[in-house]
Structure 1
Amino acid sequence: MPLRVIVNADDFGLDDEVNAVIVRAFQTGLISSATLMANMPAFEAACELAQQPTLAGRIGLHVNLTYGLPLSRAIRAERRLCDAQGGFDLQLRQRTLRLSPSEREAVRQELDAQWQRCLAHGVRPSHLDSHQHVHNIWPVGDVVARFAREQGVPVRLARNIGANIGPLKRVFKTLLNRRLKQLCAVTADHVCTPLDLKHGLAPSHGVLEVVAHPSALDRHDFGDAYLPPGESLVQLLDQHLSGVERVGYAGLGDR
């Protein structure tokens, strides 16, 4: 299979500035999808913007367990997940292998609350990923993947392309991604950041998802949080993915 690429912008709904950048990135064809934060201040505005033809069907849920206030109640009592005031304060290590039954149920309820808020505002998420990659924590990923399967949508794999992925991390990511694939459909075969592309690590086949956090450089260009200040995301994608088909998630759900 020749290489195809999904460029997904995380953090839609974070604030008005992020919303404006993401909409413009859609309009220029820079990105092919975005993921929505259901508990952030600009969420409702993002849902209105998501009705535009350019965005329709290309908006997923950016599962958030680390920033702001939860939308459900049970998770607020879990001290490894929230602080004493009920705000998100995730205390799970990256290599955590187990959640207690009450923690697991609380994560499930919060995930459902975020999903339902999207539906209530006219957006049915096309896919799932997570803020600060929390579904790369094994037991959280298990909950997210099972939920994705129930909803019939794919989930993002753990980043599996990068110069800084050492042998032990590679083994962990391989096992985690294998587990995610057992539980649900996935968005792509390969996952990387713009910085990984800069290092010349683009694969030659399959579907690649580029995890982007675009920012405005000027009216016609974009930077990215993963790149040095002032460096062009547009030029980077043109340089390393020239001629590669840019796709969304339509038709990829049965992968």
Structure 2
Amino acid sequence: MPSQVIVNADDFGLSAHTNAVILHAFQAGLISSATAMANMPAFAAACTLAQQPALKGRVGLHFNLTYGRPLSRAILAEPRFCTPHGEFDLRLKQRTLRLSRRERAAVAQELEAQWKHCLDHGLMPSHLDSHQHVHNIWPVGEVVARFARSQGVPIRLARNIGHNIGPLKRLFKTLLNRRLHQLCGVTADHVCTPADVRAGLAPAHGVLEVVAHPSALGSQDFGDAYLARGESLKALIEQRLGDRPRVSYTSLVQRAPVV
């Protein structure tokens, strides 16, 4: 079993309903971390909720390049990122290895704008990940990892546990994760979904992040987008990982060696 577990809920700030489910999951002790979408309608409310004791210091930035409108201007002129109407429409393939200098600068500006939007709302992000895993696109990941290091926060690795990761994909993820860790310096050791936990794939050591998208399942229970309809995320985590300490990314920064 892993030494520590981070159960992170993505999409905080997406809607009032999502905020309510994530708040409840924190209060129930199911999740230990979340990441907020800075350009979504319920973001300001999420930042207010993030000041509650159960959440404080445990909410990161869910960097978004695929949904809604950007918070910066330069990226609006990039056709591989935005529509002419000013909405995100990412047209990069997952295996894209190069961005133009202008595209890189635009991605960096948008990341800085979303980060600043957090700070302006009283939220100091605990770490960085991304909506629909856009930082798993190599050149985007490099921008995000460098920025994370400049802010002294960890970054999520690409998912590296799962039966559906074939040899070529595993090689790519291994190289990408090595690069993300090299550039940022602080990461968890393993990343998986609740479905991977159900499959018995939790690692034997290290820090594991379980990427969750919790949903309400009755008054005191939670499902998840990665699980079958009606299946309990709460029961799964308790059965498979219940004896492992549940931590946030902040604890990884605290234990990181000084260099």
**Fold-level match, TM-score > 0.5?**
yes
The answer as to 2:55 corresponding to 1:24 is no
CA distance in 1, matches of 2:233, 2:87: 34
Match of 1:98 in 2: 98
CA shift at 1:151, angstroms?
0.4
CA distance in 1, matches of 2:46, 2:93: 31
| Deviation per residue, 1:15-59 (Å, 9 max, x gap) | 000000000000010000100000000000001111101100000
Identical residues among aligned pairs (%): 73
CA shift at 1:187, angstroms?
3.1
One-letter code of the match for 1:63? F
Match of 2:250 in 1: 250
CA shift at 1:242, angstroms?
2.5
Asked if 2 retains the 8 angstrom alpha-carbon contact of 1:9 and 1:35, the reply is yes
CA distance in 1, matches of 2:38, 2:250: 22
One-letter code of the match for 2:250? A
Number of equivalent positions: 255
Q: Which runs of 5+ in 2 are unaligned?
A: none
CA distance in 2, matches of 1:130, 1:122: 20
CA distance in 1, matches of 2:185, 2:250: 13
The answer as to 2:42 corresponding to 1:38 is no
CA distance in 1, matches of 2:176, 2:224: 27
Match of 2:235 in 1: 235
One-letter code of the match for 1:74? A
Q: Which runs of 5+ in 1 are unaligned?
A: none
| Deviation per residue, 1:165-214 (Å, 9 max, x gap) | 00000000000000001101333100000000111100111100000000
CA distance in 2, matches of 1:27, 1:41: 23
Task: Output aligned runs, 1:83-232, within 5 Å.
Answer: 83-232=83-232
Asked if 2 retains the 8 angstrom alpha-carbon contact of 1:36 and 1:43, the reply is yes
Asked if 2 retains the 8 angstrom alpha-carbon contact of 1:128 and 1:148, the reply is yes
CA distance in 2, matches of 1:157, 1:49: 26
CA shift at 1:248, angstroms?
1.1
* SS in structure 2 at match of 1:245: coil
One-letter code of the match for 1:156? R
Match of 1:11 in 2: 11
CA shift at 1:140, angstroms?
0.2
| Deviation per residue, 1:39-87 (Å, 9 max, x gap) | 0000000011111011000000000000000000000110001111110
Match of 2:75 in 1: 75
Asked if 2 retains the 8 angstrom alpha-carbon contact of 1:36 and 1:62, the reply is yes
- Alpha-carbon RMSD across the aligned residues, in angstroms, is 1.0
CA distance in 2, matches of 1:97, 1:4: 33
Worse-matched range after superposition: 237-246 or 117-126: 237-246
One-letter code of the match for 1:45? A
Cα pair distance change 1:251/1:238, threshold 3 Å: closer
Asked if 1 retains the 8 angstrom alpha-carbon contact of 2:37 and 2:43, the reply is yes
Asked if 2 retains the 8 angstrom alpha-carbon contact of 1:127 and 1:187, the reply is no
> What TM-score does the superposition give when structure 2 sets the normalisation length?
0.97
One-letter code of the match for 1:112? E
CA shift at 1:3, angstroms?
1.8
CA shift at 1:124, angstroms?
0.5
> What TM-score does the superposition give when structure 1 sets the normalisation length?
0.98
Asked if 2 retains the 8 angstrom alpha-carbon contact of 1:10 and 1:36, the reply is yes
* SS in structure 1 at match of 2:250: coil
CA distance in 2, matches of 1:170, 1:192: 13
Asked if 2 retains the 8 angstrom alpha-carbon contact of 1:187 and 1:209, the reply is no
